[in-house]
Amino acid sequence: LLASTLTYDSLRFGEIEDFPETSEPVWILGQQFSALTEKDEILADVTSRLWFTYRKNFQPIGGTGPTSDTGWGCMLRCGQMILGQALICRHLGRDWRWSPGQRQRAEYINILNAFIDKKDSYYSIHQIAQMGVGEGKSIGQWYGPNTVAQVLKKLAVFDSWSRLAVHVAMDNTVVIEEISEFSFLTALWKPLVLLIPLRLGLSDINEAYIEPLKQCFMMPQSLGVIGGKPNSAHYFIGFVGDELIYLDPHTTQPAVDPNEDEQFPDDSYHCQHPPCRMHICELDPSIAAGFFCQTEDDFDDWCAQIRKVPKP
């Protein structure tokens, strides 16, 4: 963090509290922990998530565009985080843990390389920003959750290694037949990333949606939630009590270049302090929830669980 540029958010690092001493369960991306007896496990799990933040001094986007995304790229970085979690589940499994300072598995290096700030990486800030032009967003313009979901869907088509099916559900509705029909037509189930843009209220979250939102984090297929308003998008990975647990992209770090054998210092891609928390009522109502179904059975299980979620 010494190399970080002091933005308004990085100044808050000294103020981040440790996890509360509470008997209420801590839920992170479908896994339950005890804050009283499993604090180390909680932090190890959070630290293992990919943490994408603002970066500076990367190649100009589009050849002549910005060399930093500070101030405009937070939702794009949140999109990278939710898709990064999908790739971890796809190639390494939900239970995989990052070990700092050790030589990492090839699959992990491949995942990280897909997000490096270079124009030819599958899901780089360059690719997301340039693909967003087709969604009506000029380079350097802030995205909402729906825009970043649509862009990730388009970019995933080119990722022949991961072979993901990215489905963006529109109008708050998942049409099961659309997903099943695609699988039937191709005669092959592709690991599914399901992104569901939602509006949970007008200017504030409607309290009726709080419990259903919490249940999303409790499902084993959970990829978390991206959301926020301009200049304050976050990647929400769980909750404890009425507080959401999230990773914050608002820290500017220098761009990282892999060396010749594609190993590179990866400490800055993992948040190594206790995660941020906010009261659930502070959540901006415009979000996108994500889920990952490796197999068709996972999808059938997700459908069964969603049907049990109480309707607001």
What residues act catalytically? 74, 248, 250
Which position has the token pair 């509290």? Answer: 17
DSSP the chain: -TTSB--TTGGGGGGPPPPP--SSEEEETTEEEETTT-HHHHHHHHHHS-----EESPPPGGGTS-SB-TTT-HHHHHHHHHHHHHHHHHHT-TT----TTSPPPHHHHHHHHTTSSSTTSTT-HHHHHHHGGGGT--TTPPPPHHHHHHHHHHHHTT-TTT--EEEE--TT---HHHHHHHHHHHTSPPPEEEEEEEE-SSSS--GGGHHHHHHHHHSTTEEEEEEEETTEEEEEEEEETTEEEEE----BEE-----TTS----GGGS--SPPEEEEGGGS-SEEEEEEEESSHHHHHHHHHHHHHSPP-
